[in-house]
Structure 1
Amino acid sequence: MFELFDYSLSYQTISFVFLVAFFVGMAKTGVHGISLLAVPLLAVIFGGKASSGLMLPMLVIADLFAVKYYHRHANWGYLIKLFPSAVVGVLIGTWLGNVVDDQVFRVLMSIIIFVSLAIMVWMEKTDKKAIPDYLWFAILMGLVGGISTMIGNLAGPIMGLYLLSMRLPKNEYIGTAAWFFLVINVFKVPFHIYSWESIDKNSFLLNLVSLPFIAIGAVCGIFIVKRIPDKQYRWFVIGMTAVAAVLMNI
């Protein structure tokens, strides 16, 4: 054990933190779903709410990498539909985090992943017309995404569900998701600092130490995504979400 920024960490624990940073970097540049493998790791080590705050600065840093690389591919028509209800969802998620204990928090994280996975598989097996491109659907997905991103940074499957159902091409999918999460994750920061108190100077410094691993992950993510065809990429996203859903309950 050693002390780092008021954290008592083992070498195994700090290795997991750096692995999480690497996964987050990969996820934000297109290997969507792999960051969900990191959620159970941090939740077991630091607790549900604390891990959510610890991961958020990593996500914001990685979002900047993603937006830098994929910004020109974003579909702002979908983003404008999503943002208002997502903001409301973040506020609801903040309230939920203040009224439930950490065990319930982790159960909610698990439920979100499993339900999202089931819907994603169903959507992939269903014709696009089964879920029309209507405003009500975007509002619903934005609301649920806002709640789930506050409860454990788990909006990835929800946004995957929405954007996959819109049949966006691979790069447009990644670029639209990148802008959505950058805006929403920055919006979440004050609530983590002042309401949940899950981000402080020490957690931020630990995130800065993890920055090289986020960058390496981002570069690896770009390299991998370039080599996955659109059709296989869609099932790759679903498969990574499935693995995360299982790990959350081990």
Structure 2
Amino acid sequence: MEMSWLFISLACLVTGFSKFSIGGLGLIILPLMMLAFPGPEALGVIVPLYLLTDFVAVMTYRKNINWGVLAKLLPFGAIGVMLGTYVLGNIDSSTFMTMLGVLIFSLLGLSLWLDYHPLPIFSHRYAAGVAGGLCGFVGVLANAAGPLMGLFLLEQKMEKHAYVATRVWAFLTLNILKMVGLISLGLVNMETLEASAVGLPALFLGMFIGYKVFAKISADQLKVIVRCAISLSAAHLLFFKSQ
């Protein structure tokens, strides 16, 4: 039980830090939580905590929201969430862990590719449909829609405050939809909510640390550390899930 509490707290610490600092750490959070809750149940612990941080974020960024971009993105995001929820409800834990590992490695590969090559699809006229659908689907299964959302919003050429505000409102909406889907699948229950409560102190500590130290962090150094951690977590899901 003590080890489970440790992994829950560590995942919550990273969640809070990610929401209020550099972002892009979502690929680590779910594998960390799965050390305490193997399988899709881990999502039932994380998503309520994500909703809490989203509400704090939207209270912080209440202005400069690009409602036009959200209106184009979110309907397709809802479709992606519904499709992801359907897939989640029809696979076993082993298949879920394999699929998650493959998704994580794929998104990591995309991140590395984009360091050296542009991805013009997110400036295409159908970009909102592609980005919204992928964010909804990947967000349900891998809790890792952040990089895709960021790519799409950057192509909209918004100023900094509008980008941040639009991003947090998009994730609040998608996470509400995810929460509804997880409740319908029975993945949010009293056990997962109690685990979420265990992680609250670490969540708020992570939010505080992320807010305070963000300006002092070298983004390039952190990127290397994050990618190494992502690779290890994906390898664990793919090759050690039976242990």
User: Do they fold alike, i.e. is TM over 0.5?
Assistant: yes
**Are the equivalent residues in 1 in contact too, given 2:102–2:234 (CA < 8 A)?**
no
CA distance in structure 1 between the partners assigned to 2:24 and 2:64 by the alignment? 20
Could you say which residue in structure 2 is the equivalent of 1:3? none
Task: Report deviation, 1:238.
Answer: 7.9
Change (3 A) 1:141 1:154: same
| Structure 2: distance between partners of 1:97 and 1:40 | 16
Q: In 2, are the aligned partners of 1:117 and 1:238 still within 8 Å (CA)?
A: no
Instruction: Tell me if the contact between 1:90 and 1:188 (Cα under 8 Å) persists in the aligned partners.
Output: yes
Candidates 178, 201, 209, aligned match of 2:190: 201
Give the stretch that moved more between structures: 180-189 or 215-224: 215-224
Alignment match of 1:54 (pick from 31, 45, 60): 45
The answer to whether the aligner puts 1:69 opposite 2:98 as a matched pair is no
CA separation of 1:213 and 1:51: change in aligned 2, threshold 3 A: same
1:214 paired with 2:203, answer yes
Cα gap change, 1:73/1:30 in structure 2, threshold over 3 Å: closer, same or farther? farther
CA deviation vs aligned residue, 1:57-94 (integer Å, no higher than 9, x gap):
11111112222223335443332221011100011011
- SS for the counterpart of 2:35 is helix
How many matched pairs? 236
Correspondence 1:228-239 to 2 at 5 A: 233=219, 236=222
Following the alignment from structure 1 to structure 2, what is the Cα–Cα distance between the partners of residues 81 and 233? 31
Q: Following the alignment from structure 2 to structure 1, what is the Cα–Cα distance between the partners of residues 230 and 68?
A: 30
CA drift at 1:53? 1.3
Task: Give the gaps of 5 or more residues in structure 1.
Answer: 1-8
Partner of 1:91: 82
* Equivalent residue, structure 2, for 1:134: 124
Under a length normalisation based on structure 2, what TM-score does the superposition of the two structures give? 0.84
Pairwise CA RMSD: 2.6
Match of 1:114 in 2: 105
Identity %: 26
Compute the displacement of 1:17 (Å): 0.6
Q: Deviations over 1:161-195 (max 9, x none)?
A: 3335556666554433211111111112121112x
Pair 1:203–1:29, CA change in 2 (3 A): same
* Structure 2 residue runs without a partner (length 5+): 237-243
> Given the two structures, how large is their TM-score scaled by the length of structure 1?
0.82
Deviating more after overlay: 150-159 vs 181-190: 150-159
Contact 1:18 1:210 in 2 (8 A): yes
Aligned counterparts, 1:143-158, within 5 A: 143-158=133-148
Q: Identify the residue that residue 240 of structure 2 maps to in structure 1.
A: none
The 8 Å contact of residues 51 and 172 in structure 2, kept in 1 or not, is answered as yes
Q: How does 1:157-196 map to 2 (within 5 A)?
A: 157-166=147-156, 172-194=162-184, 196=185
Q: Where has structure 1 moved over 6 Å in runs of 4 or more?
A: none
Give the 3-state SS of the residue equivalent to 2:22 in structure 1. Answer: coil
Which residue of the other structure, out of 104, 114, 125, is the alignment partner of 1:123? 114
Distance 1:146 1:69 in 2: 24
How far residue 55 of structure 1 moved from its aligned partner, in angstroms, is: 0.9
